[in-house]
A and B are shown apart, each in its own frame.
Chain A
Amino acid sequence: MPATTVLSDIKIADMTTAMFGPYCTQTLADMGADVIKIEPPMGDMMRYGGKPAKTKGMGGMHMTINRGKRSVALDQKTDLGKEATRRIIESSDIFIHNVRDSGIKRLNLTFEEAKEIKKDIVYVHCTGFSSEGPYAGRPAFDDIIQNLSGMTSLIPRLEGNDQPRCLPMMIVDKVAALHAVYAVLAALRERDNTGEAVFVEVPMFECATHFLMEDHFDGAVFEPAVDEFGFKRSFDNTLQPMKTQDGWIMIAPYSDKRWVKAFEVVGASAELEDEQLNDRKKRFFNSSYMHKRIESYFITNTTEHWVNALSEAQIPASQANTMEDLQNDPHLKATNFFQKREHPSEGDYWEIQPPVMFHNLSKEEIRPAPLIGQDTESVLIELGLAPDENNG
């Protein structure tokens, strides 16, 4: 029973697709919000990412990203589709979408039009670029924004070559989604205070750049700059996980006292007699060299041995997990992070627990990811509309 009911009386009309918007609405559903996912008849394209076990359109990514939501498949070109969408918005607190401006105008669902349907609607536009700048309205994808925001300049700086490389995950989509979650909640509070509609824009480009620059602005924040862009520690190629007998380990002593102790724990105290490491100041200035000297000692024993030995000496250390290791990580197992669930049509699957923990609030099972249009009929009936052969 992993999900809280903290947002249980919030209703969301969700016309988002792919990763950005849906990860946002999944997070809200995980907190108890009632989300109706309005999909085109073929369904959200994300359903086809990753192999399904049984049903086409129920791929692995969809099973995670679209859990907790009801699915209504509507053809926006038909009268029923238009009327049903209108009524869903009317009965919702939030209308969230990632449709480009030209498209939303064609659907007659701009902010002004949504306000006519519900005068205090919280209208959230998940977009690529803010409407204030010249790229407004352009299509945006994770790799495009990674490159525009400077994210692809990080790995080359780390490795000292000049070939830009994308970060290996849909980082822009996911970061923008997290911004959208708080944006929705802040806007709800504003609506509660004023009784009026709120228009929120969550632009991927600005979210990604802002996120990147929190630490990487560094000395260039001053004008004129007192240092280069880039948080130096991130670009130190020598401060990386270290090889053990059976895997990889990271240690984070941080203070000089703990570094000295770490050398002691691994049996490397003799190294600290080195000219470059024999006092605190030298160790601080030669930290990369210091890291290099301790590195070779870890290969003599297992990761578990070192993690235990260092933890006992109060030195933070842990193993580098591969994704496959995660389900066997002792902490994640004990906290039931991966729950095995049974999907009504797709069989067994793993459900990641929502990470934020609200104590002492009632909990509910998370609704498994829906088939396309699984809830069309029941929702239409709720809205006082009769399903026809084409819709539900």
Chain B
Amino acid sequence: MPGSSVLSNIKIADMTSVLFGPYCTQTLADMGAEVVKIESVAGDIIRHIGISRNTPQMGSMHLTINRGKRSVNWDQKTELGKEATRRLIEASDVFIHNIRPDALARLGLTFEDVKAIKKDIVYVHCLGFGPDGEYSGRPAYDDLIQGLSGMTSLSPRVDGSGVPRFIPMAIADKVAGLHAVHATLAAILERNQTGAAVHVEVPMLECVTNFVLEDHLCDGTLEPSCGEMGYERQLDPTRQPMKTKDGYIILAPYTDDRWLVAFNLVGGAHELDDERMVDWATRRKNRTHMQDRMQVYIERETSAYWLKLFNENDIPVAPVHELEDLQNDPHLRGSNFFQRREHPSEGAYWEMQPPVRFNGAPDREIRPAARLGENTDEVLKELGLEPPK
């Protein structure tokens, strides 16, 4: 029973596709919102990314990203399709989409158009770039946004190579998706207060650039700057997991007194006689050297040995997990993070629990990801329309 119902009774007409918008509406559905995913006749292309098992348009990414939603795929070029979309918007609190700005007028889905259908609609536009700028209206992809936002300049700063590289995940889409969630909820609160329609834009470039710079603007904040941009700690190549006899651990004492305890625990108290590590100030200055010395000891025992010893002494430490290890992590097992579910057509699959908990245990099942147009007929009937034969 992994979803909560804090957002039950919020109805969302969802015309987003791929990853950014759908991650947002998935998060809202996980909190109980009723989401109707309006797909093109051919379906959201994400259905074809990642291998499927039984049904070709039920790829693995879709199973996670589009859970909790009903799927309709009436043809928007027909009279029935247009009327169905109109009625669905009328019956919804939120209309969210990622249609390019220059296509909106043609489709009759600008803010003004939609406000005319429902006067207090919450209208959320997921897009690549904010308005009034050079790139406004352009299509945006995760790669491009990673590059533009400075994200690809971070890895080269760590290894000193000067070669920009992508962060290896769809981070721009996902960060923008999380911004869209709070944007939608804030807009709903505003609508509840004023009774008027609200128009929100969530631009990927601005969201991701803001996200990159929260820590990394750093010494570049003040003008003139007192140093370089880039939060040193996160760009330090030596601040990495340490090698053990049989793998890696991350050791993060952080405070000076914990570092002292750590050296004692590994049997290296005499290291602190070295003039480079003799007091708080020198240890702070020679952090890299201190880490190098600690690494010498860590290599001598197994990961399990160190995890037990440091945990017992309240020194922050953790194993280094591969993706394959996650389902065996004792904490994630204990908190039931991965739930085994049975999909009506695709068989057994793993459903991740929504990470935020409201009032303790969640209280309802999350609807499994729908087949393409699975709910078209039932939704048409709800809207008082006859499904086509």
* CB-based A-B contact count at 8 angstroms: 466
* A interface residues, Cβ below 8 angstroms from B: 6-7, 19, 23, 27, 31, 49-53, 60-61, 63-65, 129-130, 132-136, 138-150, 152-155, 157-158, 163-171, 173-175, 178-183, 185-190, 192, 198-203, 205-207, 209-224, 226-227, 229-231, 234-235, 239-241, 248-250, 252, 254, 311, 316-326, 329-332, 334-335, 337, 340, 346-350, 352-361
Distance between Cα atoms of A354 and B31 in the complex (Å): 25
Given A166-B234, A332-B133, A356-B183, A210 and B352 touching (CB < 8 A)?
Answer: yes
Partner of B65, one of A50, A214, A329: A214
Given A248-B164, A323-B230, A135 and B331 touching (CB < 8 A)?
Answer: yes
A359 touches B318 (CB 8 A): no
On chain B, the residues within 8 Å of A214 by CB distance are 19, 23, 64-65, 170, 174
Taking CB as reference atom, which chain A residue is nearest B128? A316
Given A164-B240, A358-B199, A209 and B326 touching (CB < 8 A)?
Answer: yes
B133 touches A335 (CB 8 A): yes
Contact with A along B222-256 (1 / 0, CB 8 A): 11101101110011000111000000111010100
A148 touches B318 (CB 8 A): yes
On chain B, the residues within 8 Å of A133 by CB distance are 330-335, 337
Partner of A52, one of B61, B138, B216, B226: B226
B358 touches A199 (CB 8 A): yes
On chain B, the residues within 8 Å of A206 by CB distance are 332, 335, 337, 353, 355
B150 touches A323 (CB 8 A): yes
Partner of B179, one of A146, A149, A178, A192: A178
A346 touches B148 (CB 8 A): no
**B 186-200 contacts with A by CB, 8 A:** 186-190, 192, 198-200
Sample (5) of A-B pairs whose CB atoms are under 8 Å apart: A133-B332, A133-B334, A164-B240, A331-B129, A358-B200
Given A223-B350, A357-B203, A250 and B144 touching (CB < 8 A)?
Answer: yes
Q: Is B218 an interface residue (CB 8 A)?
A: yes
- The stretch among B78-86, B152-160, B373-381 that forms the contact with chain A is B152-160
Distance between Cα atoms of A335 and B132 in the complex (Å): 6
Q: Is B206 an interface residue (CB 8 A)?
A: yes
Which of B248, B331, B333 counts the most chain A CB atoms within 10 A? B331
- Further pairs besides A50-B221, A166-B241: 5, Cβ < 8 Å: A203-B357, A215-B19, A252-B143, A316-B138, A358-B199
Least distance between B34 CB and chain A CB atoms (Å): 14
Partner of B60, one of A53, A209, A226, A248: A226
On chain B, the residues within 8 Å of A353 by CB distance are 206, 210
A213 touches B144 (CB 8 A): no
Q: Is B51 an interface residue (CB 8 A)?
A: yes
Contact with A along B126-142 (1 / 0, CB 8 A): 00011111111011110
* B interface residues, Cβ below 8 angstroms from A: 6-7, 19, 23, 27, 31, 50-53, 60-61, 63-65, 111, 129-136, 138-141, 143-144, 146-150, 152-155, 157-158, 163-171, 174-175, 178-183, 185-190, 192, 198-203, 205-207, 209-224, 226-227, 229-231, 234-235, 239-241, 248-250, 252, 254, 311, 314, 316-326, 329-337, 340, 346-350, 352-360
Least distance between B193 CB and chain A CB atoms (Å): 8
Least distance between A8 CB and chain B CB atoms (Å): 9
Which of A143, A248, A254 counts the most chain B CB atoms within 10 A? A143
On chain A, the residues within 8 Å of B111 by CB distance are 359
Distance between Cα atoms of A239 and B139 in the complex (Å): 19
On chain A, the residues within 8 Å of B164 by CB distance are 240-241, 248, 320, 322
Least distance between A294 CB and chain B CB atoms (Å): 15
Given A144-B252, A209-B337, A215-B19, A199 and B359 touching (CB < 8 A)?
Answer: yes
On chain B, the residues within 8 Å of A321 by CB distance are 147-150, 153
Distance between Cα atoms of A144 and B310 in the complex (Å): 13
A64 touches B189 (CB 8 A): no
Given A169-B234, A227-B50, A332-B133, A361 and B190 touching (CB < 8 A)?
Answer: yes
On chain A, the residues within 8 Å of B146 by CB distance are 250
B356 touches A179 (CB 8 A): yes
Given A23-B214, A241-B165, A321-B148, A340 and B223 touching (CB < 8 A)?
Answer: yes
Given A215-B169, A319-B147, A165 and B222 touching (CB < 8 A)?
Answer: no
Distance between Cα atoms of A252 and B142 in the complex (Å): 9
On chain B, the residues within 8 Å of A323 by CB distance are 150, 153, 212-213, 216-217, 220, 229-230
Distance between Cα atoms of A234 and B133 in the complex (Å): 29
Partner of B50, one of A136, A148, A169, A218: A218
B130 touches A144 (CB 8 A): no
Distance between Cα atoms of A202 and B359 in the complex (Å): 11
Partner of B182, one of A155, A174, A181, A322: A181
A346 touches B222 (CB 8 A): yes
Partner of A139, one of B201, B210, B241, B316: B316
